[in-house]
Structure 1
Amino acid sequence: MSTHTDSTYKETISHGELAFPIKLYHTILKKKQHDLYLHWHAEMEIIYIAHGFGTFQIDNAPLDVCEGDILFIKKGALHSGTGSTLGCECYTLVFNLSFLQNQTFDVVESTYLMPLSKEVLMFPLRISPDDLGYAAILDCIKNMILLFETKPCAFELIVKGNLLSLFGLLFQNNHIITLKQPPLINKKLTAIKAVIAYIHEHYDQKISIKTLASISGYSDYHFIRFFQDETGMKCTDYMNHVRLSKAHHLLQQSDKSITEIAFDCGYENLSYFCKKYKNHYGMTPASSRRHS
């Protein structure tokens, strides 16, 4: 699942079509590569871990996942993911809750869908194989995966029905969480979003820790630990990841020389860029271009 983001690191790609705004992604997260790197969007996600192990960073908390886990990522959550040594195969459904809502304001809308949309009721973060109703919940997800892969007649109708059935199972098995009061504004999350927005806008320039610390409101010393605690990555590693992702895109989509691309992505030393690129992608920039 490739990630395209704006200056606030909000994902800008559309998921599905206007008339059917839901999409399935199949991703294999690899060791030491944040293939699903830090981003957020207005849609929610359901992620099924089909094989392997990995670690997701969701808002300000790391979450180790294993085969069989089902994650529910709420709208607006800043998240990323990486695989373990064995890798992590994921199926992800991305959609807006409005896809299921209607204008009649019936009991389904007023009792279940509207409170979920307003976040008065919250989805669980994770459902694991030992949890109540897991088998039936997983069946709904596997049915939707198969429907997207085969696209039989009326698959859109059946997908929507499966999604509603899935929500019903979450309610039946007491996995939906009732909030006693609205969630507080997460100041740390706001600071992290501001920092990554700056990195995204200025990746082609020299970025100092002092500048990023100032944006976050922390001292230089505390910022380094703050960033790693909140994202699961060192700040320098994250900046390299953003720059290398931009470079990878340019290698595939432009005729610029490797030297030009290195400088355009904030690397002043070509040898250092090539070394970092090979460590990240397992091949040199030149080999990567030949394989595009």
Structure 2
Amino acid sequence: MEDYNKIIESLGVKFGKARHINILQPIQIKNFYDVENTLLVLYNGDVKIESVEEKVMAGDILFIPGGKPCTITYGTGEAKPVTYEEFMTQREVYFEPMTDPAEIGIVKNSFGLVAFEAKVFDSVNFFSSLDIPPFFIPQNTKLANLIKEILIEDFTDQPGRGRVISIKTEEAVIELIRHILRNQLFVEQLATNSTYFKDPRLIDIFTYIKNNLAGDLSNKQLANVANVSEDYVGQYFKILTGINPQDYIEYQRMEEAVNLLRTTKKSIRAIGAEVGYKDTAYFCRRFKMMFGIPAGKMRRRDSLMI
């Protein structure tokens, strides 16, 4: 348990967004993908996720780890299948955002969600690193109440709003981890994480990658950072993390690109260069391959309702 406490203490949790959504018509979104983690509480209606067989009841919570593509169905009845890009273009046809705190949990066919980042040592996406699938959390009153409190706070303009949201988001993440531990979910992945997060050489590599996305991230350079041989560094990284370093680097670059698209007005060319892609066309191809939508549409994602 001490190892898990260390991981929790090292987590940097950052609130992303909160939404209360009325489902206007049934829809199945194929290859939904987000870099942020999502906690979704079902108030009324139906939500289903491919590969999860459990029946979802009102009050159940769906957790979708960031970086895990999935097919998700909203609403009761025959759902129209659409790609993630198609949904992005016509989302107002399927979802209606609500901002009245009094409507939370009352409107038929509705759900609430909170999206967040959770990074260990400000470098590694914790839930993505576990490589776990989306899963349902049945009838967790504490977590459901935290999501509702975040929604209510986000809908108001009270002094200290941001601080309260930040605190409650951290509480929600801790409760999520406690649920995983209580139910002994993903034990092997947690054991692996608790081991490699204690390796100072690996943490040095994570930190170097984070701070040098536009620079030299060759295996030779990573070997210098970790003080291991160039021939060994790729194997060393994969043994500890389960992925090779260049795949990890690309994910980190794309994640930062998403952040820049959402928070700045920089051109796509400038953003691609800032995260290490000199060829803008190649950056755009890789971006769409990873997220299923063009970089320009991700830029407008702040208004996205899931």
Question: What TM-score comes out, normalization by structure 1 length?
Answer: 0.45
Question: What TM-score comes out, normalization by structure 2 length?
Answer: 0.44
Report which structure shows greater RCO (CA 8 Å, sep ≥6): 2
Q: Which has more helix, going by share of residues?
A: 2
